[in-house]
Amino acid sequence: MGKLTDLLAKDRLIILDGAMGTELHARGCDISLPLWSSRALFEKPDVVRHIHIDYIDCGADIITTNTFRTQRRTFEKAGYNHEGLDYKSTARALTADAVDLAREAVMIAAEDDEDVLVAGSVAPLEDCYRPELVPDPDTLRNEHSEHVQNLIEAGSDIIIAETMTSLNEIKAVLDVVSGFDTEYIISLTPRNSQELLSGEKLEDAVSLISQYSPSVISVNCIHPSLGEEIISRLKSLTDKPLGIYCNIGDPDYKEGDELKPTVSEDEYLNFAKKWKSLGVKIIGGCCGTTPLYIMKLNSLKS
């Protein structure tokens, strides 16, 4: 049994952390594309560490590494070489730095280093909200394999593949992650209770995932108002443990836009109570959520 399996076996809700990118922006960091949140790793690493600490202090059982945009592709687009390294080595170095910052936060803030898991974040290679840009299968497998290996070698406890919007990318990520000796969460971004953002059927995505062995199937970066019907749909399609972490912005929010919050901390908590009543095992926050949102969620553990 692994650490995530042990955590899932506990008879209580598991709390995932909240947003990193929008929280970096709120604390004065530059999150302009294409580097987005990865810029803070070399410009303001202390801020990244402190965000992790704040989430742990507010009750997070799992914190997510700031690696949503530390793939080689990102640094090639930005023309950024870290300390004279080539793009591939830049990706490896900054991914390792991100994992180190998360691990340091656990050492500082958790009562026991085993109390909080570090989840290595795997994101879509291209824009999360434009599934038509998803690369070909060989490119997907090669680049995701490189990123996942970087995360595992750096010391991630588990992998969380998030904001997955197309069947091709889901399959490539699952092929890659299942080849490593690690527990993992696969998190989808649906358009509604029937379709992924790509327009492909949610049912087909779950059928594909059932051929692998994720510890949890989750949804993320949807508006909380969609959560109840999507979770209900997933419950009819799988008996896997479920997770959810929503954004709090305008439902038409796009990657790189200025997020305009539309859901307060207490409103988010009320949504979360419904998700918990449906049997959801892991709840956290996505774009726009802050440590205060996670502190509110922490009240649901009992």
Q: Give the tens place of pLDDT for each residue, 21-66.
A: 999 999 999 999 999 999 999 999 999 999 999 999 999 999 999 9
Residue 36 located in a structural domain: yes
Query: Is residue 1 in some structural domain?
Result: no
Render pLDDT for 61-99 as a digit per residue (tens, 0 to 9). 999 999 999 999 999 999 999 999 999 999 999 999 999
pLDDT band at 20 (very low <50, low <70, confident <90, very high): very high
pTM here?
Answer: 0.95
Percent of the chain at pLDDT above 90? 91
Query: With bands split at pLDDT 50, 70 and 90, how would you rate the model's confidence at 7?
Result: very high
Q: Is the peptide bond before 34 cis (omega within 30 degrees of 0)?
A: yes
The answer to whether position 119 is within a domain reads yes
pLDDT digits (tens, 9 = 90+) for 211-265: 999 999 999 999 999 999 999 999 999 999 999 999 998 655 555 566 778 899 9
Query: Is residue 184 domain-resident?
Result: yes
Q: What is the pLDDT of residue 114?
A: 75
Residue 166 resides in a domain: yes
Tens digit of pLDDT for each residue in 165-184?
A: 999 999 999 999 999 999 99
What is residue 258's predicted lDDT score, i.e. its pLDDT? 67
Pair of tokens at residue 109: 């803030």
Q: How many domains does the chain have?
A: 1
CATH of the domain at 215: 3.20.20.330
Q: Note the pLDDT tens digit of each residue in 250-278.
A: 655 555 566 778 899 999 999 999 999 99
Helix (H, G, I), strand (E, B) or coil at 13: coil
Of 2, 16, 75, the residue nearest 41 (C-alpha): 75
Range of the domain at 135: 11-298
Say what the pLDDT of residue 252 is: 57
Whole-number CA gyration radius for the chain: 17
For residue 302, pLDDT over 70 is answered with yes
Query: Confidence band (pLDDT; 50, 70, 90) for 112?
Result: confident
CA end-to-end span of the chain, whole Å?
24
Q: Mapping DSSP to helix (H, G, I), strand (E, B) and coil, where does residue 250 land?
A: coil
Q: Please identify which residue in the block is written with the tokens 């972490």.
A: 245
In a domain, 4, yes or no: no
Let me know if residue 44 belongs to a domain: yes
Paired tokens of 223 = 């508006």
Mean pLDDT, the chain, integer: 95
Residue 5 falls within a domain, yes or no? Answer: no
Tell me the per-residue pLDDT of 118-165, one tens digit each, with 9 for 90 and over: 999 999 999 888 989 999 999 999 999 999 999 999 999 999 999 999
Predicted pLDDT of residue 1: 65
Contact assessment for residue 125 and residue 163, using Cβ atoms and an 8 Å cutoff: no
**Region of residue 291 (left: phi > 0; alpha: psi -120 to 50; beta: else):** alpha
